[in-house]
Amino acid sequence: MVAGTLLSPHVTWSPGVSPEGQSTDEVEQNATEQSCKGWEPAGSCRTVLYPLSFAFTFALTHCHFLESHFQTEASGYKQPHRPALQSPAVAVMAALTSAAPVVEMEEPICLVENHAGQGLAVRRDALQVLANITQPVVVVAVSGLYRSGKSYLMNRLAGRRTGFSLGSSVQAHTKGIWMWCVPHPLQPGHTLVLLDTEGLGDVEKGDTKNDTWIFVLAVLLSSTLIYNSKGTVDQQALENLHYVLTLAECVKLTKSPGESGAQPPAATGLAAFFPTFVWAVRDFTLQLEADGQELSEDEYLENALKLRGGSSPEAERYDRLRECIRQFFPERRCFIFDQPASKRDLPRLEELPDDRMDPEFLRQLEKFRSYIWERSPPKTIPSGCKVTGEMLGTLVETYVDAIRSGAVPCLESAVTALVELRNSAAVREAAVLYRELLEQRAELPMETEELLELHEQCQRETLQLFAERTITDDVERFRAELLRQVEAAKLELCSRNEEASREKCTAALQELYSEMEQRISDGVYFMPGGHQLFLGDQRALVERYRALPGKGVKADAVLQQFLQNVEPLARSICSTDRALTEKDEQIKDLQDRNEKAEQEREAERGREAERLRQMEDWIRGYEKAEKEWEAERERAAEQLRKMENRARRSEEEALQLRKRLWQDEEKEKSHSQGGHCGGGSQQQDTRSNRAFLIEIAVLAVLFSLQCAIFGVPRGLLRVIFPFLLRQFFTSNRGRFP
């Protein structure tokens, strides 16, 4: 037995005793009521998270009872194979980890209508509720005689005191099949679907076939069928369950080949489709014993289903019903219930507080409810696939349509419809998973190789989920449809990837181009040489753009489009550059010519200034030279006078010399005539030569004086004097030997 204290500052709990001293059953009932009040329904049904408060309360208030119940032997309950009971902490953790959306209905709604003269019909609003349930469903249906308290049991299984309407008269109250979907208290991720069926054996209906179809639907739709009866499990109670005898006739395993002699399906084949059978015996007053030995409830049921044997018609009729129950429902359980309250309080049982009810009944009720909550399996098909709410709705439609058409519900057709629905749902779920994986993992923009690698990875996981969710091996058609949707999603992702790449690249180029735009606005490029500057900036922009990471698949295309878009601007800048360059060259040429002319004028002014300077220098030099010449002339004149004087003296001396020479010649001449005729000629020649030399010397002196007077350079004298001397000799050649 679990004993302990809940680690909470507000609640302390011990097994069997409530904080207020109430009984365990009262604590359990109050906790259930409080948890139900906390659901706050809004509308006929809504999608909510699993009600954690309910699971928490149930785990606290019921776990001690469950463990003590399954461990005790006093009750006579035989415990079959079952999973280990969860502790409160485990139950709470399971509830906390179950956050899948489930459908919670405020109150039951009609699933299958049963109108007199119109037959059975499925309610569309109920199918819509089931279509919203994507979780596996645990379907618990109750069947039995009318006015036997079926609805009360279903309300308590829903954790409520009210819900399915309870009639207080002798007339049947529930018509058709009513449905109530609530979150499963103990199985997170599952929905508990409670089906309350129309009471059997109502004399006012007068149509036993109608009861048969109601019972058949309860069997085919449920995973646990509760047959509710009163009193004991005796022959009369079994006779009231005669609908089991018609199951083989009202249900077929495979599609009929159309042969009139077709045999009904074997009971063992139908058993694979049929639910767990739970017989709830109400108002039980006997002692559970046989032959003086105490029996458990299950042993009591099995004892009632024992075959008598024999070949008599009575024996065969006796064994036939029991054999059908044993074969159609191989897994069977039995629960007995005392009368819940006094006869006076029974009409208002749903309003009756627990302290006004029989404690033994409450214990039995809790034992029954715990078994249903914990042991009822999810609805499955023979392949083992769990049925969801949507699939359950398909089963309802398939079976009711077959009944309305006058045919027999075919389990193979129903399974085929479920396979179609399940595999189609698997395609949808796998396609949704693929899209979700892409959304979670794709960091757009991506390169083509990265995107294809991501696609292959997500496709593998998608196909794995598809393989897990599909039914049967013949799924090629659905797999092809899934691959088609995956390919469409991949193409959509590729398109989004291209668009994301285009947007990112465009934004990057726009950001990089903003600086050039500013320079364009400032007119930087609209000047001579602006085109080359523009091209240089454009090349730098392209290099910076290509260096950016994560641009995606449209990097080059966006760049090319950008370059094409700016090409007209580049041509305009080029034209402007060319025109401005030509104009600038013209201006420069004109400036060069003006500058050259100015330079020439400046040079001319310089030359003129130089000439003026030279002229001034020449004038100054001339004046200086003139002064010097004047002084030199004065000196030369003085020297000339002196030389003239000397020349005169020389001439005078020469004349005197000549005169002496003439006198000497005369003297010699006279002597020569006197006797020196032979030698006279030689002396005469000597005298002539001497006179010539003297004349030359005189001339040289005179020439030197004149040159000195006129400032003739000495070098020139060395050239001129020999020339004059040669001319003198040439002109006087006849005078000299």
pLDDT the model gives residue 202: 64
pLDDT the model gives residue 17: 35
Q: Which of 280, 268, 169 is nearest to 224 (CA)?
A: 280
When mean pLDDT is compared over 216-220, 587-591, 678-682, the highest value belongs to 216-220
- DSSP letter string, 325-374: HHHH-SSEEEEE----S-TTTGGGGGG--GGGS-HHHHHHHHHHHHHHHH
Residue 129, domain member (yes or no): yes
Residue 289, domain member (yes or no): yes
Cis peptide before 313 (omega within 30 of 0): no
**Average pLDDT rounded to a whole number, residues 683-698:** 67
Question: Predicted confidence band at 192 (pLDDT cuts at 50, 70, 90)?
Answer: very high
The percentage of the chain sitting over the pLDDT mark of 70, rounded to a whole number, equals 75
pLDDT tens per residue across span 392-415: 999 999 999 999 888 888 888 888
Question: Predicted confidence band at 16 (pLDDT cuts at 50, 70, 90)?
Answer: very low
Tell me what the pLDDT averaged over the chain comes to.
77
What residues contact 597, with CB distance under 8 A and at least 6 apart?
Answer: none
Residue 366, domain member (yes or no): yes
Question: DSSP character for 193?
Answer: E
pLDDT the model gives residue 371: 96
Question: Predicted confidence band at 205 (pLDDT cuts at 50, 70, 90)?
Answer: low
> Which residues constitute the domain of residue 732?
680-737
pLDDT the model gives residue 734: 59
Q: Is the dihedral of CA 118, 120, 125, 127 positive or negative?
A: negative
pLDDT the model gives residue 78: 37
Query: Above 90 in pLDDT, residue 45?
Result: no
pLDDT tens per residue across span 345-382: 877 777 788 888 899 999 999 999 999 999 999 999 88
**Average pLDDT rounded to a whole number, residues 23-37:** 40
Residue 51, domain member (yes or no): yes
**Average pLDDT rounded to a whole number, residues 555-576:** 89
**Which two three-digit tokens encode residue 193?**
């679907």
Domain boundary among 391, 409, 427: 409
pLDDT the model gives residue 325: 92
Residue 541, domain member (yes or no): no
pLDDT tens per residue across span 446-470: 888 999 999 999 999 999 999 988 8
Residue 113, domain member (yes or no): yes
CATH of the domain at 319: 3.40.50.300
**Which two three-digit tokens encode residue 216?**
């058949």
**Average pLDDT rounded to a whole number, residues 335-344:** 88
Alpha-carbon torsion, ordered 128, 134, 140, 142, to 10 deg: 10
Residue 299, domain member (yes or no): yes
pLDDT tens per residue across span 73-127: 333 333 333 333 333 323 333 333 344 455 778 889 999 998 877 789 999 999 9
517/537 Cα distance (integer angstroms): 11
Query: Above 90 in pLDDT, residue 673?
Result: no
176: left (phi over 0), alpha (psi -120 to 50) or beta: left
pLDDT the model gives residue 203: 52
Query: Above 60 in pLDDT, residue 62?
Result: no
Residue 298, domain member (yes or no): yes
Q: Where are the beta strands (DSSP E) in 204-337?
A: 224-230, 276-282, 289-290, 293-294, 332-336
Task: Please name the residue ranges forming H helices in 43-175.
Answer: 52-71, 88-97, 124-131, 150-157
Tell me the three-class secondary structure of 491-548, residue by residue.
Answer: HHHHHHHHHHHHHHHHHHHHHHHHHHHHHHHCCCCCCCCHHHHHHHHHHHHHHHHHHC
When mean pLDDT is compared over 90-94, 273-277, 283-287, the highest value belongs to 273-277
pLDDT the model gives residue 161: 78
The tally of domains found in the chain comes to 2
pLDDT tens per residue across span 222-235: 999 999 999 899 88
The percentage of the chain sitting over the pLDDT mark of 90, rounded to a whole number, equals 30
